[in-house]
């Protein structure tokens, strides 16, 4: 199969994974989502989405810093064309296809060849490839020409051109077999003694077999805990019945959909907090009428203000972190959420503004 055919056939298997620390890719094998340990960031739950699944919270049931593998469990329904792990040897020069979400560019497929079928790195074998992979590709599948998974795209060499490395399929199969033998969840692999440890048997974050400190156990126990203005922002969102986990895009960025409008909230290093709703685009006609309307509404608004950047209309709330309070923030963001949807409808229906298109992942 060619690259486009493979992507079209197996795209429903490709998962986008998001945490406060970044995003990556996963793929479905059987009843599990396979990805890298570094993608899940030591958390016991992450946000996932796919072509057929809206953003949802899923559980990380296995974390293996040694192989840099993690398994996620979620109810994603029956797949028309499920991916399978290859059982064929990989040789130099084989054609490969890497699928993932580099830099948030969803469902990107790149083609290349196997530069070296077995490249030793830190006592593990990797498949070296020249297919372009970038941040966001981590955890995604590396496929052969038959559409079988031959590896998990794991890392690149920084500041080099097309030097990517994938964990081979046989490590993945070995790990799946060992995990399923335990018939349990919340398993951590000790990077020292290599034993699979049930999280409930870990005390004080030490491996019960060899006594080494398990950093991933500590991370999973603590979870993600924001502080300062970030914590206050999330308290405000929670008080407005916003699912903070699903809205979180990073440690300092959130997205809330309200009807046809979308609000992006960003907390910048200089202490500025901006809630922006990019409503719609100005039309080629009746521009003066829209301007007059926005100016008249700005005189009535408190907390919020209209602005135009290039040809897009924004409704925004801006405040410095030292001035943000729970009560004031709740009033401001509640108005921003409600009025964004209202004004979007008015501008589109009455003033013929142009409705924005949304990327397919942003459902």
Domains observed in the chain = 3-170 (2.40.10.120), 228-355 (3.30.1460.10)
Successive 10-residue mean pLDDT values, the chain, 363 residues:
91 96 95 97 96 92 97 90 95 95 88 95 94 88 96 86 91 97 97 96 97 96 95 98 95 92 95 97 91 96 96 96 97 97 95 82 46
Give the model's pLDDT for residue 159. 67
Tell me which residue of 264, 261, 274 sits closest to 318, measured CA to CA: 274
Q: Which helix (H) or strand (E) holds 287?
A: helix 287-300
Q: How many residues does the structure list for the chain?
A: 363
Tell me which residue of 44, 223, 232, 16 sits closest to 105, measured CA to CA: 16
DSSP state of 44: S
- Taken in order 58, 64, 65, 70, is the CA torsion positive or negative? negative
End-to-end CA distance of the chain: 30
Average pLDDT of every residue of the chain: 94
Q: Which helix (H) or strand (E) holds 38?
A: helix 37-40
**Percentages (nearest 5) of helix, strand, coil residues in the chain:** 30, 35, 35
DSSP state of 13: G
- pLDDT 10s digits, 20-50: 999 999 999 999 999 999 999 999 999 999 9
Bridge pairing between strands 53-64 and 187-189: parallel
pTM, 2 dp: 0.91
Compute the distance between CA of residue 127 and CA of residue 338 in angstroms, rounded to an integer.
51
């Amino acid at each position: 199969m060619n690259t486009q055919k493979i992507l079209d056939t197996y795209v429903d298997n490709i998962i986008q994974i998001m945490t406060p620390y970044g995003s990556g890719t996963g793929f479905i094998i059987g009843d599990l989502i396979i990805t890298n340990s570094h993608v899940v960031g030591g958390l016991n739950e992450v946000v996932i989405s796919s072509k057929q699944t809206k953003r949802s919270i899923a559980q990380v049931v296995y974390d293996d810093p040694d192989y840099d593998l993690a398994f996620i469990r979620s109810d994603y329904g029956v797949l028309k064309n499920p991916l399978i792990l290859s059982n064929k040897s990989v040789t130099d020069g084989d054609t490969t296809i890497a699928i993932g979400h580099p830099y948030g560019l969803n469902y990107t497929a790149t083609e290349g060849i196997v530069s070296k079928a077995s490249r030793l790195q830190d006592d593990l074998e990797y498949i070296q490839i020249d297919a372009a992979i970038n941040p966001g590709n981590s955890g995604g599948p590396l496929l052969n020409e038959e559409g079988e998974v031959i590896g998990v795209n794991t890392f690149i060499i920084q500041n080099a051109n097309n030097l990517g490395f994938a964990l081979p399929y046989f490590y993945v199969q070995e790990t799946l077999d060992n995990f399923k033998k335990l018939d349990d969840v919340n398993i951590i692999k000790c990077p020292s003694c290599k034993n699979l440890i049930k999280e409930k048997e870990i005390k004080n974050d030490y491996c019960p077999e060899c006594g080494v400190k398990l950093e991933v156990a500590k991370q999973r126990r603590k979870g993600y805990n924001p502080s300062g203005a970030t914590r206050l922002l999330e308290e405000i969102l929670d008080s407005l019945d916003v699912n903070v986990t699903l809205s979180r895009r990073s440690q300092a960025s959130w997205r809330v959909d309200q009807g046809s409008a979308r609000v992006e909230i960003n907390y910048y290093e200089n202490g500025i907090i901006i809630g922006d709703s990019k409503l719609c685009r100005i039309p080629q006609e009746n521009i003066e009428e829209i301007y007059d309307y926005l100016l008249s509404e700005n005189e009535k608004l408190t907390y919020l203000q209209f602005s135009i950047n290039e040809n897009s209309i924004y409704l925004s709330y801006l405040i410095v972190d030292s001035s943000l309070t729970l009560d004031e923030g709740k009033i401001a963001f509640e108005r921003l959420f409600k009025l964004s949807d209202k004004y979007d409808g008015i501008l589109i229906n009455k003033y013929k503004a142009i409705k924005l298109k949304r990327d397919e992942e942003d459902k």
